Structure 1
Amino acid sequence: MALDAAIKSALDTVPDCLAVGYIDMNTGMLLEMQGESPASVDVLETVSIAISNLFQGHGVQAFEKLLAEAGDGAIDNAGFSEVTIFSGDHLFVFLKARDYQEHVVCFVCRGGANPGMVMAKSQMSLGKIAEAV
């Protein structure tokens, strides 16, 4: 399956999904995106610029250091692999691609979406997207 088809399938699979994007964190570029409307794609483009700080920023590093000091020990995989944000009218789910640690898939959903279903379906879609890369 091609990347654009995998992204489109994810858009159709994840409940109340408005847009899905495949983002390169090193550049902040959207490598592929699909959306229901130009407005939802605009949200995705805006978010893609700041994604690197979300996963690799100083705040994440400080949080991991606190976990290590609290007795969690050394953290094998630095950085978060999944971040979910509730923001006004939107629910954002960011999943780091397992095989491409510098890439993130972003799902933008309506704020009233069921968070559990969104997270479950987005995790299921991540595998198909990663296979398409």
Structure 2
Amino acid sequence: MSDLDSVLQRAIQSIPECVAGGYVDLESGMLIGIKTVDSHPSEVMDMLAAATAEMFQGSNVVAIERMFKKARGVEDDGSHYFQEMIVNSDNLIHVFIRSKRSQEQVACFVCRRSANMGMVLTKVRQALPEIEAQV
């Protein structure tokens, strides 16, 4: 996993005002990799994978995805409708992006709220293929 750690570190350095990055496997509920520039409470790290799984695969989210597919005439082939989620808190931007290679994996990045949202999204999207290649 040291290669994944290196890739996450490079991503953090390239994403504006990024303070943490991680990679979550939704099927196993495991946090595959994590890198931070600040210290974060271990309780937060322990909950990251579970919270990410709930955001992307909770029963209500899956039901909404099915409704959107049906309304748009898209066949329900088991793929997921939601690919990215952004959560803003008082001080931080949290970006969650589903892997293109594996729908059951999600990259997570946390940036300071003062970062330019457009640049954050652009850099996160650019970082994803290199992260995927390490898993």
TM-score by length of 1: 0.86
- Post-superposition Cα deviations, 1:16-69, rounded to whole Å, max 9, x if no partner, equal 101000111123322111101112776454332211111111222221233234
**Equivalent position of 1:29 in the other structure:** 30
Q: Is the 8 A contact 2:17 2:111 kept in 1?
A: yes
**Equivalent position of 2:75 in the other structure:** 74
* Alignment RMSD: 2.1
Instruction: Compute the displacement of 1:97 (Å).
Output: 1.5
Instruction: Compute the displacement of 1:89 (Å).
Output: 1.2
Specify the code of the residue in structure 1 equivalent to 2:90: G
Q: SS in structure 2 opposite 1:37?
A: coil
- Post-superposition Cα deviations, 1:98-133, rounded to whole Å, max 9, x if no partner, equal 222221110011122111110000000001111122
Q: Structure 1: 5+ residue runs without aligned partners?
A: none
Q: How many corresponding residue pairs?
A: 133
> Residue 107 of structure 1 is aligned with which of 85, 95, 109?
109
Instruction: Compute the displacement of 1:12 (Å).
Output: 0.2
Is 1:83 matched up with 2:85?
yes
Q: SS in structure 2 opposite 1:9?
A: helix
Residues 44 and 107 (structure 1 numbering): CA distance in 2 closer, same or farther, change over 3 Å? farther
Residues 41 and 35 (structure 1 numbering): CA distance in 2 closer, same or farther, change over 3 Å? farther
Identity of aligned residues (%): 33
**Equivalent position of 2:12 in the other structure:** 11
TM-score by length of 2: 0.85
Q: In structure 2, what is the Cα distance between the partners aligned to 1:41 and 1:115?
A: 27
Q: SS in structure 2 opposite 1:11?
A: helix
Residues 114 and 86 (structure 1 numbering): CA distance in 2 closer, same or farther, change over 3 Å? same
Specify the code of the residue in structure 1 equivalent to 2:24: I
Q: Which stretch shifts more, 21-30 or 48-57?
A: 21-30
**Equivalent position of 1:132 in the other structure:** 134
Q: Which stretch shifts more, 85-94 or 9-18?
A: 85-94
Q: SS in structure 2 opposite 1:30?
A: strand
Q: Is the 8 A contact 2:65 2:82 kept in 1?
A: no
